[in-house]
A and B are shown apart, each in its own frame.
Chain A
Amino acid sequence: MKTLSYEKRLNQRLFVNIVCIIISVILLALILGIEKFAPLRPMYFGASIGLFLVSTALFFRNKALRKDQEKMERLKLLETDERNVYILRVSYTIFTYVSIGTLYISMLVSGFFSTTVFYTLETLLCLNLLLILMIRRLVEKRY
């Protein structure tokens, strides 16, 4: 199994943080700058500000971690500890089952009120199941 060093992983996270900051700024500029998008402002403003704040906070945290060797080692131990990794995997698996189940129940309930919501959730559910199958195939090839 190919594993990344923790420093490389931190660099990757920093890169993702920067990409998210750029996306949030572009989104903000589009929403605030183009009058055509004015009705969407309340929704997208909150979402892009949220993305911007979280990405910026994580960016500075990850950058500070690179400088503080002791803190980095402590976090590395917590993240790479095999029991913690196992707990995380089990949690993700349970989360997947619960979210698929919730989506399915939501789809059934929504059908009584709106066909649009029903078909949207149905598409989302099918897409999720398809994604799970595709990811499984990819992971199978890796191991």
Chain B
Amino acid sequence: MKTRIAELRRQQKLSQEDLAMAVGVTRQTITSLEVGKYTASLVLAHKIARFFHLTIEEIFLFEEEESL
């Protein structure tokens, strides 16, 4: 799944480690989310959205053909 995490993180001048600590995951999880290798759970997606003061849809770009 494509995300805007990297873009938003750079806008706010945050490191992956900062974001990881803020949402309670490891830096590797943030890396995987940014490159689209891992799809976040609803809980994590919610935490990230809340951190950036945006909605889940504005950060996580769901494509219809994606398998769950």
Contacts and interface: CB of A to CB of B under 8 A. Distances in A.
Interface string A106-137: 00000000000000000000000000000000
B38 A81 contact: no
A83 B38 contact: yes
Interface residues of A, number: 8
10 closest A-B pairs by CB: A83-B29, A81-B26, A81-B25, A83-B38, A82-B41, A81-B29, A82-B44, A83-B32, A77-B26, A82-B25
11 contacts: A77-B26, A78-B26, A80-B24, A81-B28, A82-B25, A82-B43, A82-B44, A83-B29, A83-B38, A84-B26, A84-B29
A83 B40 CA distance: 8
Given A82-B44, A83-B29, A83-B32, A77 B38 contact: no
Contacts of B38: 83, 86
B17 to A, nearest CB: 12
A29 B28 CA distance: 47
Contacts of B41: 82
A78 B25 CA distance: 8
A77 B26 CA distance: 7
A77 to B, nearest CB: 6
